[in-house]
Structure 1
């Protein structure tokens, strides 16, 4: 199976897993960590073009697992993280990783945050190396082995 086919199949599997855990993912720390992850993945290559911003915002607003939270609140938090990362890439990244680390002691939430990052990374049909690296870095912050997520 080609890499692209494996990525698409993996994204579908991740989405199914997230939907099954939706009732466990209602905490504000999960919401905030997920938005930080979305912004980190969106800015992984150093830029966020308007089309990518819209695509990720759409995904956030229409993703069932994030449906426990008001869409406008999610979008606002995502945009705030994008602004932080644009203003200070290194400091913003450190802050985002600290936000993600807040769910470290919650295994279901930790895995779900990583899976949200994978879904966002693959949303354009290409989960590139910089996006994978950011998600793998989040795995380390969460004390999760990256290989568990094929990273």
Structure 2
């Protein structure tokens, strides 16, 4: 059944239902409090090595100034399209120097990131950006209390026998 083919009487029924739902929604949203702390992701370490650019990005950084000077009114998106077209028109032989440079930068990055991770693991024991010192202690007693509760229940079971 389509809204356009309904009679006004049939539409009225659905409109009343919609008004009721809207009122309920508004009531619920007045009391709604979004959960705290769930949206926070990992903070990126500013000292971490940056990922190397791909062959295409190396090509773009080399050719972008030329395109900007040839076409000064071109928007950022249009410039990117033009660079993409130029890259796809390049032969494998023409792309090779960019791919080799990208491979060298990737190797260097992998060495740097391995050293960075090794360093951050050794520093993690000292004092790192991990969990605050108090939060771990709070989590442990809860577990112990639960275990104690289990023990008490077992003792009660033994007493009943």
Task: Tell me if both proteins adopt one fold, taking TM over 0.5 as the criterion.
Answer: no
TM-score by length of 1: 0.21
